[in-house]
Amino acid sequence: MAEAEEFSGTQAAQSLGESLRRSALEWGADFYGVANLTVAREAIVDQGGEMLAGFPRALSLGIAMPPYIVDQLPHQDDARVAAAYRAHSYDILNRRLDGLASRLNSVLQREGFQTFPVPASWRVSRERLLGHFSHKMAAHLAGLGWIGRSCLLITPEVGPRVRWATVLTDAPLETGSPMPNGCGDCRACVDICPASAFSGRRFVANEPRSVRFDVFKCRAYQESITTPEGGGLCGMCVYVCPHGQKNRDARLCE
């Protein structure tokens, strides 16, 4: 990754960083930040291996889910609700994020940097039910939110109602700082979970996910329910978070 060493000066790095931010927002991102990954090397190696751990920076890209559709999740037995949530909160947003990541990836490549765009949704381990990189970790390190008791990335603006993608890079971009946990004593996501998949434990960076979240309980519940979409929906932890619901009444009155 010698190209990064040849990149001349702080001013040039700042200029590139601002250009990337402007482009991300113009091309449809609602959230954009840059994470310093060097502080999380051990976790990255454990999940994705040495190849991904070689990248010191990450662009974190987020697009907010349609709030009205998320608000209908308690009625997901309605075919219209199930279809809308699956399409607009997953399938369509994932395609938009992957396209956005690809475009920003090309910008960085043209500047001579090494890159690795991580798809918005790409599971590579059936045994651990993991992708090969944590979008939530990148967003947290970029200062876009914190990890809640639901193991979701909670933003101050819309709570967990965001889908994420990431572009790994060696470009020496200015990074954000992790945001303090804003959940307080709230346990809304823990209490509403129909699978009892959350322990209620607060996020601690060096602890395994399993102490907070039993992903296998969550998956088993999703596979056990039948919806008009064929099963696999739930999302009640996304729906109930007060940081996502805080403007709900105002939205309904618009």
- Tell me the per-residue pLDDT of 182-214, one tens digit each, with 9 for 90 and over: 999 999 999 999 999 999 999 988 788 889 999
Q: Are 96 and 63 in contact (CB under 8 A)?
A: yes
Number of domains in the chain: 1
Q: Does some domain include residue 24?
A: yes
Cα–Cα distance between 62 and 78 in angstroms, integer?
28
Q: Does some domain include residue 253?
A: no
Cα–Cα distance between 116 and 195 in angstroms, integer?
35
What domain range includes position 199? 8-246
Cα–Cα distance between 120 and 178 in angstroms, integer?
21
What pTM was estimated for this model as a whole? 0.88
Length of the chain: 254
- How does pLDDT run along the chain (254 residues), one tens digit per residue? 545 555 455 788 889 999 999 999 999 999 999 999 999 998 888 887 888 899 999 999 999 999 999 999 999 888 899 899 999 999 999 999 999 999 999 999 999 999 999 999 876 556 556 678 999 999 999 999 999 999 999 999 999 999 999 999 999 999 999 999 999 999 999 999 999 999 999 998 878 888 999 998 998 888 887 655 555 689 999 999 999 998 665 544 44
φ, ψ of residue 122 in degrees (nearest 5): -155, 100
Q: Does some domain include residue 215?
A: yes
Q: Does some domain include residue 254?
A: no
Q: Does some domain include residue 3?
A: no
Query: For residue range 140-157, what is the model confidence (pLDDT) as tens digits?
Result: 999 999 999 999 999 999
Q: Does some domain include residue 149?
A: yes
Q: Does some domain include residue 162?
A: yes
Shortest CA distance to 117 belongs to which of 165, 48, 167, 164?
A: 167
φ, ψ of residue 114 in degrees (nearest 5): -80, 145
Q: Does some domain include residue 96?
A: yes
